[in-house]
Chains A and B, each alone.
Chain A
Amino acid sequence: MPTKIEKDAVSGTLTTGHEWDGIKELNTPLPKWWLYVFYATIAFAAVWVVLYPALPIQGATGLTGWTARGAIEQEMAEHAERLEPRLAAIRDAAPQEILADPELRNFALAGGRVAFANNCAACHGAGGQGAQGGFPSLADDDWLWGGKLADIRQTIAHGIRNAEDEAARTTMMPRFLADGLLSAAQVNEVAEHVLSLSGRATDAAAARRGAAVFAENCSSCHGNDGRGSRELGAPDLADQIWLYGGDKAAVVQSVSYARAGVMPAWGGRLDPAVVNMLTVYVHSLGGGEPE
């Protein structure tokens, strides 16, 4: 409520003429420059609105044409330009050469980690641990097609059983029951034999009979002792690692209807440098084998 401006008895200062329930405000004026600074901020804001996108209207970009998206794109382009010399070196180098050069190796491992998370982790897991149902672990010491750098690179670049790439690794396991190659009893016997390779047979007599079936039908790919073949991508049946489960039902299923995991080819989708970085990274996960 406005009252008249008067002199405060205690301080001798004039009041502003404002009063609230008997409380009067003393007028201790701000310096004028303070007010001018405030006006300057308003002027600054006006200029800002004209130059930069400040209005919540689609397409109101301001005179400078600056956008947050454009700025990010430019930063990304600059970043890519900075990375290019190293990427070029990695593109031209064999994976062994990358490992031999500490600087390239560090770069490839860091880049491979990111590329793996973007492209591979969906099936093989964040740390390459794989998943049940045909997605092999890349961190263990068991490889279907080989764990040397060249093997890994070939698999990444061309994929597995990939019809679109002639260089893809391809083999087919017969569907022994479905195609009438073996009777149900024979399938049961050969499954018992396979379990016996890792000491887990439930019916010793069936397993013995199955040995003959195995030698006749399976050993050409999986070997006489069931240790598999990397040339053919035939898994080791005598170890502790089972891509599709190691219990009897899963083994019977595999023999009866076969398994044929598919992996896409990344050679055409990814920069060759990224394929090389992925090769080095996957090799480093723990299962990589020396050349």
Chain B
Amino acid sequence: MSDRSTFTALVEVQLRPGIADPQGATIERALPALGVRSVRGLHAGKAFRFEVEADDHAGAVAEAELVADRLLANPVLEEWTVTVTGPVSEEHALAAGAAGGTD
């Protein structure tokens, strides 16, 4: 058995400033119909969650950053942020796996 732990990574991908975000603009324009007139600067993006097995937190961050930079975002159009939490305890990871596997 290895001593590697399971971490949870969240990668958020946003369009770079200056790249048109017609989706965000369209969503923002719909808000007055909801009676909301206080929202500005709405941007649409993508979020990816996954688990990473690594020796430590720094190793998990490095792996998640590689995934974000080389696959999840296109650096010409997008920028990304990585948030890594954990390690998740083994019991918790098993429970989450079981919950995800039902139905």
Q: Do A and B interact? A: no
